[in-house]
Structure formats: C-alpha cells, structure tokens
Amino acid sequence: MGSVLFTPLTLRSMTLQHRGWVSPMCQYSCAAETGEGVPNDWHLMHLGSFAAGGAALILTEAAAVNPVGRISPLDAGLYNDEQASAWERIIQFVHQHGAADAKIGAQLAHAGRKGSTYWPFSGRNGSVQESDGGWATVGPGTGAFDGYAPPSAMTDEDIDGVIRDFAAAAVRAVEAGFDTVEIHGAHGYLLHEFQSPLVNDRTDAWGGTEDGRNRLTLAVVDAVRDVIPDSMPLLLRISASDWAEGGVEVDHAVRLARQAAERGVDLVDVSSGGAVAHQKIQAGPGYQTGFSTRIRHEADVATGTVGLLTSAGQAEHAVATGQADGIFIARAALRDPHWWLRAAFELGHDISWPPQYERAIPRHSF
C-alpha cells in the first residue's frame, strides 16, 4: 500500500500533487520603508522555501483587505496595486521552483477588534497608539479583546464596505496569479467575531441568532465566489470551537460549513479558538482533527486540519482514516521547511526534489 498523504487531490481545476500543505502564518515583516502592507524578500524566502521543500499547497499569511484590517502595522495586505505586484513576484517563484508543482493561495482577512496590535517580537503588548502608527479598530460591537483598545461598532455601511473590500482583494488575487483564495473566518478576527455569541451582541440582522451571526461570513463567501473564476477553488478557514462556555461549538461549525459549501466553498480549513482570552484549549497532537472529521462527514465538504500534527505518521493517519482531506503544517514547517521531502521519504513515497538538491536525496536514512 502506498502513502495516502501523497495522493493527489483536485479542487475544481486545481490539482494538488499531495495532501501536505502550508498553513497561513503571519510574519509581521512588512517594513515601512518598502511600503505599507507590501510583502518583501523575507516573504519570498519564507514561502519559497516551502515550495522547494515539497509542499503541494502554500497559503500566505493573513493578507488584509483594507488598512484597518491589518493585525499589526507590519502585516501584509492585498488592497492596493503595489501589494498585488509584490505578491505576483512571490507567486511566480513558487510556481517556478515548487518541487511538487506547488500551488499558492492568498488568505484574505480582516482583523476586526484584534487589529492595530504590536507584533509578537516587538517587546510590547496591546494596541498600537495612533501616534505610533496605529489606528482605530472596528468590530460587531464596542467590546474589547482583553488588553486591547475598544473598537467602534460597525454600521450597515461599514459592513457593506468590508464585503466589497473582500471582493476587491479577491479580484487582485486572481489578477496577481494566485491559484486559490482562502477567506479567514477564524481565530477571533472580524468574521469570527461576528460568528461568536461571546463577541457579537448585536440585535439587528447581523446578530441576534446563529443565522444573523453567520450572515457576514456567508455574505463574504458570496461576494468572493462571485468575482473569482468558476474554475478557481474557494477555501474558508473557521474556528470550530471557541473553547469557552457559551461560544461557538462544533455543532455550529458544521452548520456554517454546510451553508458555505452550498455557496461554493470547496474546502473548509478547520482550526479553533481565538475569540476570547479566557478560552481553555485542550491542546495535544491532533486535538482539532475531531472537528474536521465531523465537518467533513456532516457538512459534506472537503476539509483540512491543523494543530500539533508534526510527524509524517500523524499526517498519514489523519488522512488515511478520513479525518481530513489534507494536513496543514505550521510550526513544524518553520522548524523544517523541507518537511514534505522528509515525510515522503519516511512514508516510502518517491517525490521530486529540486534539481539543485538532488545530490542530497537520502538512500538509507534522512
């Protein structure tokens, strides 16, 4: 029996050579001197190393759909032509040098009330003051994430504008040459803020009920699906649990995923947490695969799973047992950008290596 992890998967017109992928990981590395939100050589090296390392699908870090949607002042965006041009250079590199015919997707995001924050290695915490380059944030209401400045409650006009911004960013992603786009609806950022009853206390059509809380996410799905080619797959990342009493639970996530799939989402990238600081995550190897399994089978949609799946054996088991259609690798990929070459060797699969690296192909041990 061959490896299941290293079998192809086709989503619309995009065929991935195997089921091992790169999860979005913020780098907080867009330097002000090269332009607000503009990816640079660090991003080329970071994402390009995964392509050379054998990943079949690489997702960018959260690319903000407007300036207010950035997580920090050093975050990437996809809301102007300069940013799109910089992404195009990276896309071309990935396509040219991907050892597994790598595909690359843009994760489109809005940070909501968790925006305008200091980056992790800044030595500071909390919200960035406007005098230091920060900005006023927005959210479903005025409740602040712990330790952050309170946001302004979004008006109907604000919400309509964000939906248009997601669509405009998707158009730029298509024009830049991305193979797919992922809508970021997880980790306590804007779309998840609207989904979570722990954050969204609105009583209008954008809150109140589960359908109301999911309305913004599904409106963004509709808007993005409408502007990208029918042949291009659409991904949606969700938090399947808030890990806090009264918050989103997997039953809610199944219903949201089913509705998203009916609207043209081809794969749900299943993660969890991030809405509130008092969450109590029970982390461990494969701790989120149960969410993915339920969504995959009950919502009838392809899924990807992530979360402390660090070895080839763990990834193989998750796919072979139907817990997910693919495995997103994050921290393990930072430790070893050639994770997929190693995994193929360990699972006995013959994968293509970059010709520059062929002299290092192992014969007996990695």
Catalytic positions, please?
189
SS3 344: helix
Are 73 and 133 contacting, i.e. CB atoms less than 8 angstroms apart?
yes
Longest dimension (CA), the chain: 63
CB 31: neighbour CB atoms within 10 A?
A: 12
Strands 302-305, 326-329: parallel, antiparallel or unpaired by DSSP? parallel
Cα separation, 242 vs 255, in Å, equals 15
Q: Which of 244, 247, 324 is nearest to 288 (CA)?
A: 324
Residue 311 vs residues 54, 189, 226, 314, 336: alpha-carbon distances, Å: 15, 29, 38, 5, 11
Strand 14-16 to 9-11 pairing: antiparallel
| SS3 assignment, position 234 | strand
